[in-house]
Amino acid sequence: MDILLYEPEIPPNTGNIMRLCANIGARLHLIEPLGFTLEDRLMRRAGLDYADWSRVKTYASLAACLDALQPPRLFALSTRSRRCYAEVDFRVGDALLFGPETRGLPEEVLAALPADRRLRIPMRPGNRSLNLSNAVALVAYEVWRQSGFAGAGAGS
């Protein structure tokens, strides 16, 4: 599984996602500009020592990232989408795209994807959004669950 963060802004969120990726075997792709450096102490603190176990790459643009990955299917998460992430039958090779914490994915990025690839996480009415690292964890674990928790050790 590939997790793409489009212009992430908050270092601890990215550190938490880095740690998540290390634990579930996902690759993390960061699309610039970043709101921090990868050496940022808050990002490294949240990621603890998982930076050495994570597969993290940075790209100058979303187009460069997608050209390099060429995922069979790309799903974008947005509060403006209609389809619930739990309705999807995820497959090996799927990629998940999440937007920046303060503004989400730009409309032009969402519009470039078919409606069935634009997903949302259900929430109570009137709420804005979940924390980015929580949103990534919810959807990534669903993808991993659907793969039978491939690669999980005994007792997991």
Domain segments of the chain as ranges? 2-147
pLDDT 10s digits, 75-101 = 999 999 999 999 999 999 999 999 999
Statement: residue 69 has pLDDT above 60 = yes
- Residue 31 assigned ligand-binding role: no
Statement: residue 48 has pLDDT above 80 = no
Which residue in the block uniquely carries the two structure tokens 């994570």?
Answer: 54
**Tokens for 85?**
């992430």
pLDDT of 98 reads 98
The phi and psi torsions of 98 (rounded to 5 degrees) equal -120, 145
- Residue 99 assigned ligand-binding role: yes
- Residue 133 assigned ligand-binding role: no
- Residue 153 assigned ligand-binding role: no
Write down the architecture of domain 2-147 according to CATH.
Answer: 3-Layer(aba) Sandwich (3.40)
pLDDT of 37 reads 83
The C-alpha atoms of residue 125 and residue 134 are separated, in whole angstroms, by: 18
The C-alpha atoms of residue 33 and residue 147 are separated, in whole angstroms, by: 32
